[in-house]
Amino acid sequence: MTAFSYDLLSTDGTARRGRLHTAWGVVETPVFMPVGTAATVKGMMPESVKSTGASIILANTYHLMLRPGAERVGRLGGVRKMMGWDGPLLTDSGGFQVMSLGPLRKLDEDGVTFKSHLDGSKHRLTPERSTEIQHLLDATITMAFDECTPFPAEKTVAADSMRLSMRWAKRSRDAFVPREGYGQFGIVQGSVFADLRAESVAALGDIGFEGYAIGGLAVGEGQEAMFEALEFTTPLMQTDKPRYLMGVGKPSDLVGGVARGVDMFDCVLPTRSGRTGQGFTRRGPINIKNARHAEDNRPIDEACSCPACSRFSRAYLHHLFKADEVQGLMLLSWHNIQYYQDLMADMRAAIEAGTFAQFEKNFHAMQSLGDIDPLDP
């Protein structure tokens, strides 16, 4: 078996090119992890996800504990085996989803009691139970259970919330059952307050994890504030451990995150957009339902190698979305995941070549060009 470890291969400014070794495969970083909330990346076969270059995916503790249930997934051999995913898997702790339930949840020092959004049934998550569930799900990377501090938050509220998360991080670590090639990440909180983020980084470092996530961002603070928070947080983090920015983001968020020293990302955006008709391209996003695509025989993105682009036209995809055909979301989700993976691969190559600043400039220039007019290609 392989030990869980991270190699920092090279840097370019603050951007990092690394390699994560796990029991279930190697992850080249910076990496984007497609989200398979309920043990399926919506609308995609696992080998289709793999074919895009994705090396690690994410699944959600909250959804899977409710349905089909953590113990059941455990009896079925874990998420990877159940869904046929040939690679490492990261699970969140359930904390973020539970906090999103608002009045349906009640928090105390020990944990959180909440009602299921599915049937109103009562459930409880504590650091110990979240860690146990993630073990049952057979997560290659387990996340510490935390409170995702709402935004905006008064500093005293943010401090109390962060310190609770740090006490929970210790309990999560104590509950974690080490296995060769498996790891657990702590989550830095502290909202947009630099001193709180610093206190959180230090507290987690004292506990000691295989990696560290940055939580509580991409919750409404905006890209500028998020980048600012990264700028005062990542320099404090250990250089020999992977850094994961949770729930992020748009293509420009990924580029800005990598520029600021982030190694790992996850987001539902490429698949969610794929279901609603938004396709990401090297010249910015397009809405495939727009009438101007109705007879456009070009692919979504000429430079993309995915099946949607190499074998089907915008006109056909437009038709599939207009007719509410499931193949529309299958193809556009596939394309968007491919786009995200290509973007990460390009960033890895740029860091290796020492040309990341140029890459970033070109990326923004291309994105701002906008889509080519089909009448004047």
Residue 267: phi and psi, rounded to 5, are -170, 145
User: Smaller CB distance to a copy of itself: residue 76 or 236?
Assistant: 76
CB of 319 to a copy of itself, least distance (A): 5
Give the span between the Cα atoms of 148 and 219, in whole angstroms.
Answer: 9
Residue 288 interacting with a copy of itself (CB under 8 A) = no
CB of 114 to a copy of itself, least distance (A): 19
Give the span between the Cα atoms of 55 and 87, in whole angstroms.
Answer: 6
Residue 277 interacting with a copy of itself (CB under 8 A) = no
**Of residues 193, 361, 204, 347, the one with CA closest to residue 265:** 347
What is the distance, to the nearest Å, from the Cα of residue 277 to the centroid of all Cα atoms in its chain? 21
User: Smaller CB distance to a copy of itself: residue 86 or 180?
Assistant: 86
The answer on whether 200 is annotated among ligand-binding residues is: no
Residue 297 interacting with a copy of itself (CB under 8 A) = yes
Give, rounded to a whole angstrom, the gap between the first and last alpha carbons of the chain: 53
Residue 319 interacting with a copy of itself (CB under 8 A) = yes
Amino acid symbol at 170: K
The answer on whether 96 is annotated among ligand-binding residues is: yes
- Sorted by sequence, the CB contacts under 8 Å of residue 51 that are 6+ apart come out as none
In the three-class reduction of DSSP (H, G, I as helix; E, B as strand; rest coil), residue 214 is classed as: strand
- Candidates 36-44, 106-114, 127-135, 219-227; binding stretch for a copy of itself (CB under 8 A): 36-44
CB of 72 to a copy of itself, least distance (A): 6
Interior/surface letters 65-87, b for 16+ CB within 10 angstroms, e for the rest:
bbeeebeebbeeebbbebbebeb
Amino acid symbol at 70: A
From 21, 42, 50, 272, residue interacting with a copy of itself (rule: CB under 8 A): 42
Residue 157 interacting with a copy of itself (CB under 8 A) = no
Interior/surface letters 295-323, b for 16+ CB within 10 angstroms, e for the rest:
ebeebbbeebebebbeebbbbbbbbbbee
Binding pattern for the stretch 60-79 against a copy of itself, x by CB under 8 A and - elsewhere: ---x---xx---x--xx---
Residue 325 interacting with a copy of itself (CB under 8 A) = yes
Residue 32 interacting with a copy of itself (CB under 8 A) = no
Q: Is 92 a catalytic residue?
A: yes
Residue 272 interacting with a copy of itself (CB under 8 A) = no
Pairing of strands 122-125, 112-115: antiparallel
- Candidates 43-51, 135-143, 250-258, 369-377; binding stretch for a copy of itself (CB under 8 A): 43-51
State the number of binding residues for a copy of itself (CB under 8 A).
Answer: 35
The answer on whether 92 is annotated among ligand-binding residues is: yes
CA-based torsion, 26, 27, 28, 29: positive or negative: negative
Interior/surface letters 161-179, b for 16+ CB within 10 angstroms, e for the rest:
bbbbbbebbbbbbebbeee
Binding pattern for the stretch 202-221 against a copy of itself, x by CB under 8 A and - elsewhere: --------------------
Residue 307 interacting with a copy of itself (CB under 8 A) = yes
**Of residues 262, 147, 184, 244, the one with CA closest to residue 4:** 184
Give the span between the Cα atoms of 120 and 90, in whole angstroms.
Answer: 27
Which residues of this chain interact with a copy of itself, rule CB under 8 A?
38-40, 42-45, 63, 67-68, 72, 75-76, 82-84, 294-295, 297, 307, 311-313, 315-316, 318-320, 322-323, 325-327, 329-330
Binding site for Zn(2+): residue ranges? Answer: 304, 306, 309, 335
What are the catalytic residues?
Answer: 92, 266
Annotated binding site for substrate: 92-96, 146, 189, 216
For the annotated binding site, the residues are 92-96, 146, 189, 216, 304, 306, 309, 335
